[in-house]
Amino acid sequence: MLQKCEGIVIRTNDYGETNKIVTIYTRELGKVGVMARGAKKPNSRLSSSTQLFTYGYFLFQKSSGLGGLQQGETISSMRGIREDIFLTAYASYAAELLDKSTEQNEPNPFLFELFSQTLQRLNEGVDPDVLLYIFEMKIVNVLGMYPQLDSCVNCSSKDGTFHFSIRENGFICHRCFEADPYRLQISQATAKLLRLFYYFDLERLGKVTVKPETKAELKMVIDSYYSEYSGIFLKSKKFLDQIESLKGKLT
């Protein structure tokens, strides 16, 4: 049975001398794996459409195991990402996080839109740090993590000064600070952005300018939270951290 899907290539693995196993995150079917025969040959009609981050339409033979890719029609090659080592690092992390957070053949149009918009905005030059923080905050629910960010986890108060408690799984207000002496002390700008990134749609987000010190706090909270609760450790995350460190030295 032939199936046509709108999708984005999130992983490729060489198979033999000329073939590729391509993992595509699709709007219609979620994550699917397909065999692209001959895709490693320079003159193959599947060569360009099976490049990492390529967004397009894919026609493949659907099966219970690995399908066979018949045709790929590129909508966007995301060339701006692939030609920039820094953007490649950000996109690779988002792709691996999506890959590790999802199972095969579980459709989730929301996740497809989130990933698609993240790549498109990366490709357009939107702040990659901000895009990644939003992506990470949106994925937490997929991983079964539900932080409380609309009120204090301890007393349910919605006003006051908030810090983030890894132990209590959410915001803790100034009245309850003693409940967690190990809470992460953050500015209220950081608290506001964590809440915003968690609840608001990426497509509704306008231009956001985030100060370096606020970015550092966002990264601290999100990295600590993932480390404690997600149970996943990604090679691309380690590489991204190295790239970010290099970028910091160059600027």
Residues 221-249: tens digit of each pLDDT: 999 999 999 999 999 999 999 988 887 67
Distances (CA, A) of 222 to 18, 57, 59, 193, 197: 40, 34, 37, 12, 11
Q: What is the mean pLDDT of the chain?
A: 94
Q: What is the pLDDT of residues 69-81, one digit of tens each?
A: 999 999 999 999 9
Domain over 1-129+233-248 is classified CATH 3.40.50.300: no
Residue 65: is its pLDDT beyond 80?
A: no
Q: What is the pLDDT of residues 138-185, one digit of tens each?
A: 999 999 999 999 999 999 999 999 999 999 999 999 999 999 999 999
Confidence of residue 39 (pLDDT cuts 50, 70, 90): very high
Residue 32: predicted pLDDT: 95
- Percent of residues, the chain, with pLDDT higher than 70: 98
Residue 127: predicted pLDDT: 93
128-139 and 85-101 are packed helices; what angle lies between their axes, rounded to 10 degrees?
A: 0
List the chain domain ranges.
1-129+233-248
- The predicted model gives 33-47 an average pLDDT of 94
User: What's the pTM value of the predicted model, to 2 decimals?
Assistant: 0.94
More confident residue, 14 or 248: 14
Closest CA to 166 of 182, 179, 178: 182
For 124: left if phi > 0, alpha if psi spans -120 to 50, otherwise beta; the answer is: alpha
Strand-pairing partners, residue 21, are 13, 35
- Token pair belonging to 30: 């979620």
Residue 150: predicted pLDDT: 96
Residue 155: predicted pLDDT: 97
Residue 215: predicted pLDDT: 97
Residue 251: is its pLDDT beyond 70?
A: no
Residue 175: predicted pLDDT: 98
Residue 104: is its pLDDT beyond 70?
A: yes
Closest CA to 175 of 202, 194, 156: 156
Confidence of residue 62 (pLDDT cuts 50, 70, 90): confident
Confidence of residue 250 (pLDDT cuts 50, 70, 90): low
Residue 140's contacts (CB-CB under 8 Å, 6 or more residues apart) are: 146, 147, 198, 225, 230
